[in-house]
Structure 1
Amino acid sequence: MVSTTPEPDLSTWPTGRLLAVAARLVEQRWVAVLDGMGLTHAGLIALHTLRDGPLPQRTLAQHCQVTDQTMSRTLDRLAKAGFVTRTEDPADARRHLTRLTASGRAVHDEAVRAEPALLGGLGDDDAFRAGLLDLITRLSARD
Structure 2
Amino acid sequence: MTVSTTPEADLSTWPTGRLLAVAARLVEQRWVAVLDGMGLTHAGLIALHTLRDGPLPQRTLAQRCQVTDQTMSRTLDRLARAGFVARAADPADGRRQLTRLTERGRAVHEQAVRAEPALLGGLGDDDAFRAGLLALITRLSASD
TM-score of the pair, normalised by structure 2: 0.95
Q: 1:74 — aligned with what?
A: 75
CA separation of 1:6 and 1:141: change in aligned 2, threshold 3 A: closer
Q: CA deviation at 1:87?
A: 0.1
> What secondary structure is seen at the aligned counterpart in 2 of 1:39?
coil
The answer for unaligned runs of 5 or more in structure 1 is none
CA separation of 1:4 and 1:89: change in aligned 2, threshold 3 A: closer
Deviation digits for residues 69-123 of structure 1 (CA, Å, limit 9, x no counterpart):
0000000000000000000001111100000000000000000000000000000
CA separation of 1:6 and 1:131: change in aligned 2, threshold 3 A: closer
Q: Distance in 2 between matches of 1:42 and 1:6?
A: 30
Q: Distance in 1 between matches of 2:5 and 2:65?
A: 46
> What secondary structure is seen at the aligned counterpart in 1 of 2:118?
helix
Q: CA deviation at 1:7?
A: 5.4
Deviation digits for residues 114-134 of structure 1 (CA, Å, limit 9, x no counterpart):
000000000000000000000
The answer for unaligned runs of 5 or more in structure 2 is none
Percent of paired sites with the same residue: 90
Q: 2:22 — aligned with what?
A: 21
Deviation digits for residues 52-80 of structure 1 (CA, Å, limit 9, x no counterpart):
00000000000100000000000000000
Task: Give the RMSD, CA atoms, in angstroms.
Answer: 2.0
CA separation of 1:5 and 1:122: change in aligned 2, threshold 3 A: closer
CA separation of 1:71 and 1:6: change in aligned 2, threshold 3 A: closer
TM-score of the pair, normalised by structure 1: 0.95
CA separation of 1:101 and 1:8: change in aligned 2, threshold 3 A: same
Q: Distance in 2 between matches of 1:87 and 1:126?
A: 39
Q: Distance in 2 between matches of 1:49 and 1:96?
A: 16
Runs of at least 4 residues off by over 3 Å: 2-7
CA separation of 1:20 and 1:5: change in aligned 2, threshold 3 A: closer
Size of the aligned set, in residue pairs, is 142
Q: CA deviation at 1:8?
A: 1.7
Deviation digits for residues 9-34 of structure 1 (CA, Å, limit 9, x no counterpart):
10100000000000000000000000
Q: Distance in 1 between matches of 2:130 and 2:31?
A: 17
